[in-house]
Structure 1
Amino acid sequence: MDDPQPPFQSSQVRRAFAAFPHAVRPGLLHLRQLIFEVAERTDGTGRIEETLKWGQPAYLTPETKSGTTLRLGTPKSGGFALYVHCQTALISDFSATFPSEFSYEGNRAVLFTADPPIDDSPLRLLIANALTYHL
């Protein structure tokens, strides 16, 4: 993406990104930027709040309450991940639509490795669905 990263909303989130392993930080920053871009282009989401939940960068829709929380982190299996609330149908619906394009961790995460580029198009759909989950 050519757009610059949005500024961090807190020093705690900035430190969380700085603490991620160097190999996965670019991918996590890419997902972060994608969340902000999708939110800006998705009706009904309102302002995105960037905070920490369970020590991970988390993205919420505090004013509209339209969405479920998205989190970014590093799973124990390696690489990096985009997490959603495990009691939503987001990952099961997404994996049914894109069964072989991504790796999944149950009903809570899409997993990535540091090497291959991320296919933004399907992820935009997942992020938009998460940000408008309660609408």
Structure 2
Amino acid sequence: MQSDIENKFDAYPADARQRLYEIRRLIFEMADELKLGVITEELKWGEASYCSKIGSPIRLDWKEKHPNQVSLFVHCQTQLMETYKELYADRLAFVGKREIQLPLSAPMPLTELRSCIAMALQYHQLKHLPLLGA
């Protein structure tokens, strides 16, 4: 039986589905590299959500309203987006206090995404540090 996340991703266009699975793989790779243990994976608000015990949730989605991109979302009441903007304003596209837009037509910004994902997965250990320890 397929998981809710697989069912959700399978309903998307092929290019969006592939990109979301790439980001999902990055999340699990970073968690493994950082030795964070179990990552919870579930649907929250209709979006794929990933979190470690010491982190803040990361959500992923594709929206029909913006068919040429996927988005990575973080909790709007954290310092994550503020820090991401400080570090990567010239390399990533941001919307408001919670969204990073990733165009499907461009190569995935792996270095920046790995950093953003690592900060989110460790957020509660980093939140007291300037620029979340970046």
Under a length normalisation based on structure 2, what TM-score does the superposition of the two structures give? 0.85
* Shift, 1:49, TM fit: 1.3
Aligned residues: 123
Gaps of 5+ in 1: 1-7
Q: Which contiguous aligned blocks of 4+ residues in structure 1 show a shift greater than 4 angstroms?
A: none
The alignment yields a C-alpha RMSD, in angstroms, of 1.6
> 2:65 aligned with 1:74, yes or no?
no
Residues 1:98 and 2:88 aligned together: yes
> 1:23: how far off?
2.7
2:132 aligned partner: none
| Residue aligning to 1:4 | none
Aligned to 1:40: 32
**Deviation per residue, 1:24-63 (Å, 9 max, x gap):** 11111110000000010114x22111111011111022xx
Does residue 44 of structure 2 align to residue 53 of structure 1? yes
Unaligned stretches of 5+ residues in structure 2:
126-134
Give 1:89 deviation, angstroms.
Answer: 1.2
Matched-pair contact (CA < 8 Å) for 1:67–1:131: yes
More strand by share: 2
Which residue is 2:76 aligned to? 86
Which whole-Å deviations, capped at 9, do the CAs of 1:81-112 have from their partners, x for residues lacking one? 11101111111111111111010111101101
Contact 1:38/1:124 (<8 A) preserved: yes
* Structure 1 residue corresponding to 2:5, chosen from 13, 18, 28: 13
1:3-24 CA distance string (max 9 Å, x none)? xxxxx9x621110110122231
TM-score by length of 1: 0.84
Instruction: Supply the distance in 1 between the matched residues of 2:4 and 2:83 (Cα, whole angstroms).
Output: 33
Q: Distance in 1 between matches of 2:66 and 2:105?
A: 15
Question: Which structure carries more helix by proportion?
Answer: 2
